[in-house]
Structure 1
Amino acid sequence: MNVEEPILGAESWTREDLAQVGKILDRSPAHLQGRTVCMELAEQLLFVRTKDGRTRPLRANAVQQIFEQRRGQRNIVLKARQMGLTTWTAARFFLKTITHPGAMTVQVAHAQDAAEEIFRMVHRFLDWLPDELREGPLRTSRQNARQIVFPEIDSQYRVVSAGDRNAGRGWTIQNLHCSELARWPLNPAEILAGLRAALAPGAEVILESTPEGTGGCFYEEWKKADETGTVRHFFPWWMEARYRGTAVDLASLTEEENKLIELHGLDLEQIGYRRHLRASFHGLAQQEYAEDAESCFLASGESIFEREPLERRILDVPEPMETRCNGELRIWLPAVRGRRYLVAVDPAGGGSEGDYSAAQVIDMETGMQCAEFAAHMGGFELAQKVKELACEYNQAWLAVERNNHGSGILALLETVCTYRNIFRQSGQMGWLTSSVSRPAMLSRLNAALVEKPELFMSRELLAECRTFVRLPDGNTGARAGTHDDRVMAMAIGLAARAEMLEGGNRN
């Protein structure tokens, strides 16, 4: 194939033609004027859904073009929100997958809903290819929520979430994209290490995220990029052409705004947008819309829990001595005869989507976390499960949040399950989480994490603490795409335990 000629007639390509294109994908022939074959092919073949809901050919924006020109074999990208890097990575890796026989591409999103969105994008690339390609060398043998397989070229494309503990196991990966690495749940460094172990020699890797505080896997990867031979890419918010607002008055410019104009060439409409960001996002503006590669880390990570003891404890937590119910119940310290326990429950509605129902088993004397249960479970099934757990732990007190779904669980526990040791507040069954009690509960949990981090055994609980943040509206809760059910169950447990101890162990 002559790389000096325009790339046309893709609909008639054979398997051999695709493989020939794969060999020149990263070249920049003279007639493309600095653009790569990959960029040209993406704009000829691939379609995306635009912000107004239309399906149109992909046109690389400034950020995507700069990344394509600067990227190396290993890359780490620090960026502001919605710069188009995930879209471009999906496009680039899709083209590499269909032009390199035997390739496996894996994109790892921070949450399941994000993984599904990425895969919809990849499916759209496939669906809009010329019929001759889709029915010929790029016919598929499998398409589901996680995988596309091209049997004629022995290649496949997978999109998974970082919560999938089996991601990478038994695979040989040629193209790996880790999206929003700073927001991965559980133990990001461990998951990333497992994926790296699956990389083929010469594999292309892209780690990408908005920042989330100093510390954590993404921050560490960014810091050590030079020593690992990883190319750093930083994209501040003003590189996105859409980020413009109403022009501000020249006379109103602050010293900081004048400096940005001088250093980066911002105009008055961009300064207007910047003011809008700070009014809307407050302290989160520098995290979500980064301006430099240092202060964005320092300004981000608005977790309400102290970071340092949290990170230290995550590294030291022990593995559970027993795991049951397909991993939903994990036990570190079994019940000891004569000891008293409390089981704290944060109920949800059940079903495979949405929040988990979570329960924490706490030693009444020490406050030690003994066991943890979390599952998409509700109604009678949940009531029966937490009763069994409480019975196992010496007829433990059951402290169930009575808000929302909790009132029904409490009724089932009392009338159907006939469980007697139910925690009460002022004579009423259950724990009430209110605008008054919630801050105090979370403050108590934070103090325990700082003063006695050894009380906490669950890595998943601590990971939820990492992403339990102060939200733009001033409230607190799980960052988008994450959960806080284990956190709230533990906060309920520690607060209920404190009330019982202060009241002489009486309800």
Structure 2
Amino acid sequence: MVQMPRYDVLRDAKKYIEAFLCIKTKESKIVPFRLNSAQKRLYDCIKEQQAEGKPIRIIILKSRQMGFSTLTEALIYYKTATRSNVNSFIITHKDDATTNLFNMSKLFQERNPARPLLKNSNAKELIFENPTKNPREKERLPGLKSKIKCATAGGKGVGRSDTLTNVHASELAFWPGEIAETYAGLMQAVPATRDSMVIIESTANGFNFFKSMWDDAVAGRNDYIPFFAAWFEMDEYRREWHGEQLTEEEEALKAAFGLDNEQIMWRRWCIRNNCNNDIDLFHQEYPSTPEEAFIATGAGVFDNRAIIIRLRTMEETPRRGRFTYTEAQERLDRILLKERRFTEDEKGEILLFKEPEQGRPYTLGGDTAGEGSDSFTVQVIDNITGEQMARLKWQRCDEDTYAKQVYCLGRYYNDALAAVETNFSTHPQKVLEYLHYPKLYVREIYDNYEGRLRKSFGFQTNGLTRPVLVATMQEFMRSNLHLVHDRDTLQEMLCFIRNEKGRAEAEQGEHDDLVMAYGIALMARASGQQRMDVPEEKREKKAKWTADMWEDYRNAGAKEKEYLKEKWGTPW
């Protein structure tokens, strides 16, 4: 007997789902659907977007077997089985997955005491209409005239012919064929109305279209809310601990995420039994962080496992901003940048990780925008240790502005040795020369006309220097990852691979601007053009400032800053 739901249950998706829908468990038991903790967090995320009056757009990066497909199917069933004229579409990566999700929807309908009228269909679809062939009865009681259709990606024109209210794109990273083309065609059928819902969910599959969509969501370049769920959010992912000794990596995991030994034992069991002892496969299928999920599909140049551990444990809070200055024409051939100062701005392109120390030598590497890149970058390193001090990343910046920021950044770090790439344009280098930057990197090139070596400013990345640069960077990072403080740099390193021909480069669709800038800085460091020590007379005892003292200093005016330095001592 069909039961009519109460109004309050009908208007609340969670109440409806838990009151009327059943699921099949991993043990093949049919039980009422009760949301687990990870599903509840996703449901709250959806409700929050709905409360803001926006179309629901969610992209989920998930671990295996967390129940997000089940919740999404339940929400689609609820939205379709309780409203008129709703078209919902579920699309998966392969036929058996399509069958599984369709069977899930069928089970919702079959066990639902408040189920709507259902028209018979041989296709993978539920059509909520009166099945009668009597036209008068159908006119009197037509049913909802809503439907849920399931399909597999790969066919031409999938979903294009309908106007769709709800879409579930399951395992998008594994769709066959041109994923972007299939997705774009499908989305043309979804109006941007507040009652529409699109949920994309997938485990990671290297650096493909799904990775690009995820990155765009994280960066705010599309309207999708990025939702990540780590494996340890599942309460059932535990196994008994019998006093086994934990590895250094396992201890680090416990500390980073507050895990217990039972969770670590499940992880160890899963790697051994479900992932063929392949730690990279575990990171992809059961990630702790988004970075772990997107393991590069090529042969990584750097130690991805070490990079992931570094990303987990980073606590850096850099100053963000850019340099301001006034320009003064000293003479026809020279402009001075006066009153230079670093101005904090939450949208600034420069991050300062550590302040310069008096008398300490620094080196600056710059990678200019060129082929395959739309960013100008700079890395400033400590010339003694190679530690990252600052970085600049500026998209679609003009060359003059870039060169002047390089000038200010280099001067700020004790007139750092400045090595700027000149492959695609020599203009930034010429601007630095015009500004009379005091310490420019010099390279030797062979002059075919004069038959001798001559000196030239700027760094050239070519077939001879690039392999040395990559090898230098690779060797340095083996034991010095703790000296890298920038997440963006580390994330670029994660997708820096060797292609089929052995060339080191960014994975397709990714960038290596920050990696190359760091490599240029290390190459310039090794050139011997910058000191590797602090002069004896400059080795002054530094004062140690607390976080509160630094905050007071940054908020002070120019005169107040001088007073505070006299009062507390100089920390650099």
- TM-score under structure 2 normalisation? 0.46
Cα offset, 1:70, TM superposition:
1.1
Deviations 1:398-442 (A, max 9, x none): xxxxxxxxxxxxxxxxxxxxxxxxxxxxxxxxxxxxxxxxxxxxx
Q: Distance in 2 between matches of 1:158 and 1:106?
A: 5
Please identify the structure whose Cα radius of gyration is greater: 2
Q: Within 2, Cα distance between the matches of 1:78 and 1:248?
A: 33
Which one of 292, 298, 301 corresponds to residue 295 of structure 1?
A: 292
Q: Matches of 2:121 and 2:9 in 1, distance apart?
A: 24
Residues in 2 aligned to 1:146 and 1:448: alpha-carbon distance in whole angstroms = 45
Aligned to 1:246: 240
CA distance 1:302–1:150, shift in 2 (3 Å): farther
Please tell me the residue identity of whatever aligns with 1:218.
Answer: F
Distance 1:88 1:146 in 2: 19
The 3-state SS of whatever aligns with 1:51 is: coil
8 Å Cα contact 1:248-1:272 kept in structure 2: no
Aligned partners of 1:122, 1:143: CA distance in 2, in Å? 14
- The Cα of 1:245 is off from its aligned counterpart by 2.0
Kept after mapping to 2: 8 A contact 1:21/1:99: no
CA-to-aligned-CA distance 1:211-263 (integer Å, 9 cap, x gap): 111x211001001012212111111111112211231536x223322232223
Q: Is the 8 A contact 1:107 1:178 kept in 2?
A: yes
One-letter amino acid of the counterpart of residue 11, structure 1: Q
Following superposition of structure 1 onto structure 2, how do residues 228-377 of structure 1 map, counting pairs within 5 Å? 228-247=222-241, 249=243, 252-280=245-273, 281=275, 282=278, 283-297=280-294, 299=295, 301=297
Matched with 2:40 is 65
Are the equivalent residues in 2 in contact too, given 1:287–1:300 (CA < 8 A)?
no
Range with bigger deviation, 44-53 or 235-244: 235-244
Which residue of the other structure, out of 56, 65, 82, is the alignment partner of 1:82?
A: 65
Structure 2, unpaired ranges of 5+: 50-55, 130-142, 301-498, 504-572
User: Out of 100, 105, 111, which is 1:117 matched to?
Assistant: 100
Partner of 1:154: 145
CA apart distance, 1:302: 7.0
Partner of 2:112: 129
Distance 1:260 1:266 in 2: 7
In the alignment, is the contact (CA less than 8 A) between 2:9 and 2:16 conserved in 1? no
Q: How does 1:442-481 map to 2 (within 5 A)?
A: none
Q: Which residue of 2 aligns with 1:209?
A: 202
Deviations 1:310-362 (CA, angstroms, capped at 9, x unpaired) = xxxxxxxxxxxxxxxxxxxxxxxxxxxxxxxxxxxxxxxxxxxxxxxxxxxxx
CA distance in 2, matches of 1:157, 1:46: 16
Corresponding residue number in structure 1 for 2:78: 95
Assess if the C-alpha contact under 8 Å between 2:241 and 2:265 holds in 1. Answer: yes
The answer for the alignment partner of 1:167 in structure 2 is 158
Retained in 1: the 8 A contact 2:80–2:148?
A: yes
Matched with 1:11 is 3
- Rounded to whole Å, the distance in 2 between the matches of 1:109 and 1:275 is 30
Q: Would the alpha carbon gap of residues 240 and 274 (structure 1) be closer, same or farther in structure 2, given more than 3 Å must change?
A: same
| Cross-structure match for 2:87 | 104
Partner of 1:139: 117
**Superposition pairs of residues 365-444 of structure 1, within 5 angstroms:** none
Q: 2:214 aligns with which of 222, 245, 267?
A: 222
Aligned to 1:142, the other structure's residue is in SS state coil
User: How many aligned positions are there?
Assistant: 278
**Offset, 1:139:** 1.0
What SS is found at the alignment partner of 1:178?
A: strand
**Partners of 2:234 and 2:26 in 1: how far apart?**
14
Taking only aligned residues, the RMSD between alpha carbons, in angstroms, comes to: 2.7
Of all paired residues, the percent bearing the same amino acid is 32
State the distance in 2 between where 1:261 and 1:147 align. Answer: 45
Contact 1:286 1:300 in 2 (8 A): no
Could you say if the C-alpha distance between residues 265 and 447 of structure 1 is closer, same or farther in structure 2, counting changes exceeding 3 Å? closer
Cα contact 1:181–1:209 (8 A) shared by 2: yes
TM-score (normalizing by structure 1):
0.51
Shift in CA distance, 38/208, structure 1 to aligned 2, threshold 3 Å:
same
- State the distance in 2 between where 1:449 and 1:123 align: 50
- The 2-side partners of 1:158 and 1:303 are apart by 40
State whether residues 248 and 268 of structure 1, in contact with CA within 8 Å, keep that contact through their aligned partners in structure 2. no
Q: Distance in 2 between the 1:76 and 1:159 partners?
A: 19
Q: For residues 242 and 261 of structure 2, what CA distance do their matches in structure 1 show? A: 5
Q: Encode CA deviations 1:368-389: one digit per residue, 9 max, x unaligned.
A: xxxxxxxxxxxxxxxxxxxxxx
Change (3 A) 1:269 1:56: same
* Counterpart AA for 1:47: C
Residue 173 of structure 2 corresponds to residue 195 of structure 1: no
Could you report, residue by residue, the CA deviation over 1:85-110 in whole angstroms, capped at 9, with x for unpaired residues? 00110011100111221111111111
2:548 corresponds in structure 1 to none
2:21 aligns to what? 46
* Deviation sequence 1:445-475 (CA, Å, 0-9, x none): x96999xxxxxxxxxxxxxxxxxxxxxxxxx
Give the 3-state SS of the residue equivalent to 2:290 in structure 1.
coil
Whole-Å Cα distance in 1 between the matches of residues 500 and 68 of structure 2? 39
In structure 2, relative to structure 1, the CA distance for the partners of 1:168 and 1:449 (3 Å cut) is farther
In the alignment, is the contact (CA less than 8 A) between 1:46 and 1:128 conserved in 2? yes
Matching residue's letter, 1:269:
E
Task: Indicate the residue corresponding to 1:176 in structure 2.
Answer: 167
Amino acid in structure 2 at the alignment position of 1:94: Y
What is the aligned partner in structure 2 of residue 331 from structure 1? none
SS state of the match for residue 249, structure 2? helix
2:28 counterpart letter in structure 1: G
Q: Can you give the 5+ residue segments of structure 1 that lack an aligned partner in the other structure?
A: 1-8, 25-36, 305-445, 451-507
Q: Check whether the contact 1:93–1:105 (CA below 8 A) recurs between aligned residues.
A: yes
2-side partners of 1:284 and 1:106: how far apart? 31
Aligned mates of 2:224, 2:127 — CA distance in 1 = 30
Distance 1:53 1:302 in 2: 39
Comparing both structures, which one devotes a greater share of its residues to helix?
Answer: 1
C-alpha distance 266-129 of structure 1, shift in aligned 2 (>3 A):
same
- In 2 relative to 1, CA 258–156 (structure 1 residues): closer, same or farther, beyond 3 Å? same
Pick closer, same or farther for the CA change 1:153–1:449 going to 2, 3 Å. farther
Contact 2:9 2:15 (C-alpha < 8 Å) held by counterparts: no
Aligned CA distance change for structure 1 residues 449 and 162 (closer, same or farther; 3 Å) = farther
What amino acid maps onto 1:163 in structure 2? G
What residue identity is the alignment partner of 1:265? Answer: G
Retained in 2: the 8 A contact 1:284–1:302? no
Distance in 2 (alpha carbons) for counterparts of 1:52 and 1:279: 22
